[in-house]
Structure 1
């Protein structure tokens, strides 16, 4: 069950909140779409990284032309990012599938602090973007943090819009960052806002629990696109951290309601696992079918429990520094798993273990109160509402 691949125009899904198109039975579109991820909440750049992972995976597993440009504004080489090592590893293994460019300085600055260097670096990045778009070489172009660049007036927004409007019809375009200009939002095919919710742990936990590490719990939910995609980006960051900083930083990616094959990220994760077998483990569970509320089958309960037992043991063991529980929320919402064991496991997690939980849900379960980060993906616009099909390497 791919929560990022939502058939929004399905009326039954609107009522239940859980009927999701699976990877194997999704038809693919040929025309590229324009995505915008903005908002105050966490997950914007992570969502872009998740799409990068899927695009590389598609290039690995399919006999099909695909190439991604990851252009990162305001992220100059003076600072290192967790995901850098993992991206470099994928570049080394599959140089024909990904190009990466970083521009700007490495520290935060406001509009009052803009220098000629900032303007030069923004223009340098944009010149590369223009050339890449005009070349039609890339199937996916990610312009990470372009929104704040435009808000800082480092680029001419009208020139940007003209270039983006004239991109090749097959090209998928991803733009991220806070405060997307209204004129950019208007032309987008998809607009997902990452809304930050106030952390509630102070209301439900004592200082002892907080000191034990419960601040390392992140939840991504909501009706908008970007939940599982952000989790994949988080996985890429964590794997990169293990490659470059701490060889003991092991990552577990557990996915519920997503049995079967057809998910393009599997190939990229598999490639990283092959190169770094001590750093990453990945498991899918569930049937390769939609699970509707009220139509659960015995195997759904068995598969949900099987994955949870692995997750519980992994979290408590302390072996994994990052544990991603993708689609756990709808699994609980469908009553395939009880809530209390999850709460107790999270309360006992080691301080150094980070847990990321994703998925939409009709009724927020009790463990939401334990989250130090809770980002809700709000759907303002989605191409699926217009009957546009999903696309391999982007949506699943």
Structure 2
């Protein structure tokens, strides 16, 4: 690609990661190189088949702060801050050393929302994005500055959800 854009999937509704993984699948289908860096996911516990399937298709995947944000809140935010900063360092290294057509930063917006990454740190990272790389960011609570900076913003809102009727997460649908 000559120019890669910045996409943001945010809002309180379900489907932000799903949308980003759909972007990854589409890109891989067009022989593009894709990398996913995720925060606050526990793939070994929640069995994220989407990640392992994409990895089998050649997508490079890295995870940081691999527990739910509530866990870090309960033990104090220092460890989450260190982990998310390690993630930012990894992303900068990827920008410098590897050539990806698309990089997905899954739940990075939550790290900003919860104060583990400062907004200016994330915006500074966006300044370092290679021109030709498509960058996709997900997570609830995107700041106005981030929304202004992005080229595409999808604010995903829940109108109706079966969780509100007591339905638990379903294998193959929510994870």
Using the size of structure 2 for normalisation, the TM-score is: 0.83
Aligned to 1:156: 118
The answer as to whether partners of 1:111 and 1:152 remain within 8 angstroms in 2 is: no
2:72–2:80 Cα contact (<8 Å) kept: no
Q: Is the partner of 1:180 in helix, strand or coil?
A: coil
Number of residue equivalences: 171
Q: Partners of 1:127 and 1:191 in 2: how far apart?
A: 25
Q: Closer, same or farther in 2 for the Cα pair 1:89/1:187, shift >3 Å?
A: closer
**1:110/1:152 contact within 8 Å kept:** no
Structure 2: runs of 5+ lacking an equivalent: none
Matches of 1:76 and 1:122, distance apart in 2: 15
Instruction: Please tell me the root mean square deviation across aligned C-alpha atoms, in Å.
Output: 3.0
Deviations 1:96-151 (A, max 9, x none): xx100111142341885333221121111111111112335111010000111001
Tell me what 2:84 maps to: 122
Consecutive unaligned residues of structure 1, counting only runs of 5 or more, are: 1-28, 60-65, 203-209, 217-236, 242-396
Instruction: Name the CA shift for 1:180/1:108 in 2 (closer, same or farther; >3 Å).
Output: same
Larger Rg: 1
1:75 aligns with 2:31: no
State the TM-score, normalizing by the size of structure 1.
Answer: 0.39
Question: What is the aligned partner in structure 1 of residue 29 from structure 2?
Answer: 57
Q: Helix, strand or coil for the counterpart of 1:55?
A: helix
> Which residue is equivalent to 1:41?
13
Aligned to 1:141: 103
Distance in 2 between the 1:155 and 1:52 partners? 24
Which structure has more RCO (C-alpha within 8 Å, separation ≥ 6)? 2
